[in-house]
Amino acid sequence: MNSLLRGNALFALAAAILWGGGDFSGGMGVKSAGGGIRNALRVVLMSHATSFVALLAIAGLRGDVFPHGALLAWGLAAGVAGGLAVTCFYTALSRGAMGASAALSGLLAAAIPAGLTLWRDGSPGVLPMVGFAVAGTAIWLIAARPAAGRMDAQAGSPAHTARRGNGLGTGFGTGFGTGMLALLSGVGFGLYFIALKMAGPAGVVWPMATARMGSLGVCSLTLLGLRLQPGGSGEARARPDLRVMGWAFATAVLDTSGNLLFLAATRAGRLDVAAVLGSLYPASTIVLAALALGELPTRRQALGMATAAAAVALIAM
Kindly report, residue by residue over 236-294, the tens digit of the pLDDT: 555 568 888 999 999 999 999 999 999 999 988 889 989 999 988 888 888 888 888 88
Q: Please give the Cα distance from 31 to 57 (Å, whole number).
A: 30
pLDDT of amino acid 239:
55
CA 187 to chain centre: 12
Give per-residue pLDDT as tens, 192-230: 999 999 998 988 899 999 999 999 999 999 889 888 876
Burial 160-197 (b: 16+ CB within 10 A, else e): bbbbebbbbeebbbeebebeebbbbbbbbbbbbbbbbb
pLDDT confidence band for 157 (50 / 70 / 90): very low
Is the pLDDT confidence value at 77 over 80? yes
DSSP for 136-204, please give it.
Answer: HHHHHHHH-S--TTS--GGG-STTTTGGG-SSTTSSTTTT--HHHHHHHHHHHHHHHHHHHHHHGGG-S
Is the pLDDT confidence value at 159 over 50? no
pLDDT confidence band for 69 (50 / 70 / 90): very high
